[in-house]
């Protein structure tokens, strides 16, 4: 983990911002388009072949082409899932997961270094949130993962993005919105909003504001409980926003964007996983254009919370189906490589506890 000096982050600038920057350097505006395209292809300044040599040298000295670099990759022998550990320019470490599905490569991005939401079952939040990730650091994770795919001889780039790694995306609102606007631009990564999912623990004001951004991504809502009483034991955010308000914000998002909402529900043994609780949940979701994604909990021993058996998952799923709620069980990927949120980063941090971050 080497710290570098703070350099200007060109990745994460809009084409307009990049034009202004080129102008400051005395360059014609069309250079911005060239640099924008190279940056998103992961090409270092020295190899940006259509730029004058002197400009390439100036940029190398004063700017970062990618503020993120890959520290370690671990590939699952089970399904080819790749867990990525990245290093940021200031020495912080974050993680991501690259999943291979029949329909293409999906990358799970972190949005913050750690998280301050405090969910009881989540490893990402155990040390709080060190800082937000910038738009360049969000794009940079994708550029890095594309580099890993090329190195593996995989012709396909990352096609789908899920904002489901460490951090609460709507707690880093401005950077995430700017990232999404750049993500879909032609000449850049060109990934459309239909290929993006954003997962939130349910920050109601930001959800309502986000519905107006004209960024119709799939919204995933981490619900994890059939009522406020249970939700409050798992998620501190539930003390701030009652479930009714969260569900109203979901209805609002559906109305404004026409997209259905996905409810994530991690089954925790003895807490939220009984068939009676499935029925209670079905009652709350009745009539909503939604889908429930059941996640068998990755047990977090630090918090004493345990996952459920196959039988419990099936019984919960059946109870929802009987109430006509669309439901699937999330496929577990990379089970052998600490695929769950924050787990790999935690191991890395404790293995390297002597090295200051
Ligand atoms: N902050 C956002 C996104 C990050 S977490 C959110 O809360 O949605 C992505 C998903 O993984 C969330 O649904 C989260 O609740 C879930 N998750 C976190 N830790 C988990 C664990 N140990 N087992 C199963 N799911 C977990």
To test ligand 1's pocket by mutation, which of 108, 109, 164 has the most ligand atoms within 8 angstroms of CB?
164
- Alpha-carbon span 238 to 203, nearest angstrom: 9
The predicted pLDDT at position 101 comes to: 84
Q: Is 126 exposed, middle or buried (0-12, 13-18, 19+ CB in 10 A)?
A: middle
The predicted pLDDT at position 355 comes to: 36
**C-alpha torsion angle, residues 327, 331, 335, 338 (rounded to 10):** -60
The predicted pLDDT at position 261 comes to: 97
Residue 58 has pLDDT above 50, yes or no: yes
In the annotation, is 119 catalytic?
no
Higher pLDDT, 1 or 137: 137
Cα Rg, the chain, nearest whole Å: 21
Residue 227 has pLDDT above 70, yes or no: yes
Residue nearest to atom 18 of ligand 1 (CA): 122
CB atoms within 10 A of CB 168: 27
- Percent of all residues in the chain with a pLDDT value above 70, rounded to a whole number: 91
Q: Report pLDDT digits (tens) over 260-312.
A: 999 999 999 999 999 999 999 999 999 999 999 999 888 877 778 999 999 99
In the annotation, is 95 catalytic?
yes
The predicted pLDDT at position 354 comes to: 40
Question: Among residues 4, 179, 16, 178, which one has the least CA distance to residue 109?
Answer: 179
Residue of 95, 137, 264, 338 marked catalytic? 95
Please state the atom number of ligand 1 nearest to the C-alpha of residue 168.
Answer: 1
Please state the atom number of ligand 1 nearest to the C-alpha of residue 300.
Answer: 22
Residue nearest to atom 22 of ligand 1 (CA): 298
Residue nearest to atom 19 of ligand 1 (CA): 122
């Amino acid at each position: 983990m080497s710290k570098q000096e703070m350099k200007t982050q060109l990745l994460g600038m809009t084409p307009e911002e990049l034009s202004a920057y080129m102008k400051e350097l005395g360059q014609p505006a069309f250079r911005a388009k060239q640099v924008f395209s190279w940056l998103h292809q992961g090409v270092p300044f020295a190899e940006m072949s259509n730029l004058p040599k002197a400009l390439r040298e100036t940029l190398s000295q004063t700017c970062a082409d990618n503020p993120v670099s890959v520290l370690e990759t671990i590939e699952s022998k089970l399904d080819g899932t790749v867990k990525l550990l990245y290093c940021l320019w200031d020495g912080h470490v974050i993680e991501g997961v690259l999943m291979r599905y029949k329909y293409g490569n999906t990358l799970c991005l972190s949005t913050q270094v750690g998280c301050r939401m405090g969910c009881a079952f989540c490893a990402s939040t155990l040390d709080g949130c060190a800082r937000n990730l910038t738009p360049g650091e969000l794009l940079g994770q994708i550029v890095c993962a594309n580099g890993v795919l090329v190195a593996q001889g995989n012709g396909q780039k990352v096609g789908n993005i899920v904002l489901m790694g460490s951090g609460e995306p709507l707690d880093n609102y401005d950077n995430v919105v700017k990232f999404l606007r750049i993500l879909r631009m032609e000449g850049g990564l060109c990934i459309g909003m239909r290929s993006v999912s954003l997962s939130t623990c349910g920050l109601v004001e930001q959800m309502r504001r986000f519905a107006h951004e004209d960024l119709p991504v799939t919204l995933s809502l981490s619900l994890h409980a059939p009522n406020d009483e249970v939700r409050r034991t798992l998620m501190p955010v539930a003390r701030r926003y009652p479930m009714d308000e969260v569900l109203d914000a979901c209805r609002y998002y559906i109305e404004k964007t026409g997209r259905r909402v996905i409810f994530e529900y991690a089954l925790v043994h003895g807490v939220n996983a009984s068939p009676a609780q499935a029925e209670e949940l079905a009652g709350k979701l009745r009539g909503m254009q939604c889908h429930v994604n059941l996640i068998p909990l990755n047990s977090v021993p630090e918090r004493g919370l345990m996952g459920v058996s196959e039988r419990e998952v099936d019984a919960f799923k059946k109870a929802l189906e009987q109430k006509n709620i669309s439901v699937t069980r999330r496929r577990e990927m990379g089970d052998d490589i600490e695929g769950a949120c924050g787990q790999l980063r935690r191991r890395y941090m404790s293995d390297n506890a002597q090295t200051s971050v």
